[in-house]
Amino acid sequence: MSISNLRTEYRGGQLSEQTASHDPIEQFARWFDEAQAAAVRDVNAMSLATASRDGRPCTRIVLLKAFDACGFVFYTNYLSRKGRELQDNPLACALFFWGELERQVRIEGTVSRVSAEESDRYFAQRPLDAQLGAWASPQSEPIAGRAELEERLNGVRSRFSQQAAPPRPPHWGGYRIEPARIEFWQGGAARLHDRLLYVRESGGWRQSRLAP
Ligand X SMILES: Cc1cc2nc3c(=O)[nH]c(=O)nc-3n(C[C@H](O)[C@H](O)[C@H](O)COP(=O)(O)O)c2cc1C
CB of 170 to ligand X, least distance (A): 16
Q: CB of 36: closest distance to ligand X in angstroms?
A: 16
What does residue 75 show for φ and ψ, rounded to 5 degrees?
Answer: -120, 145
Residue of 31, 67, 72, 74 interacting with ligand X (CB under 6 A):
74
Q: Which is nearer to ligand X, 63 or 95 (CB)?
A: 63
CA–CA separation, 15 and 103 (whole Å):
10
Secondary structure percentages of the chain, helix, strand, coil, to 5: 30, 35, 35
**Does position 87 bind ligand X by CB under 6 A?**
no
Q: Which of residues 96-155 bind ligand X (CB under 6 A)?
A: 139-140
What is d(CA 4, CA 7) in angstroms, rounded to the nearest whole number?
8
Pairwise CA distance, residues 31 & 184, whole Å: 9
Indicate which single residue of 32, 72, 78, 82 sits in contact with ligand X (rule: CB under 6 A): 82
Is there a catalytic annotation at residue 209?
Answer: no
Nearest to 174 by CA among 62, 33, 59: 62
Q: How far is the CB of 47 from ligand X (least distance, A)?
A: 9
- Establish if 66 lies at the interface with ligand X (CB under 6 A): no
Residue 162 and residue 204: Cα distance in Å, rounded?
A: 51
| Residue 62 found at the interface with ligand X (CB under 6 A) | yes
Catalytic residue among 53, 191, 206, 209: 191
List residues with catalytic annotation.
191
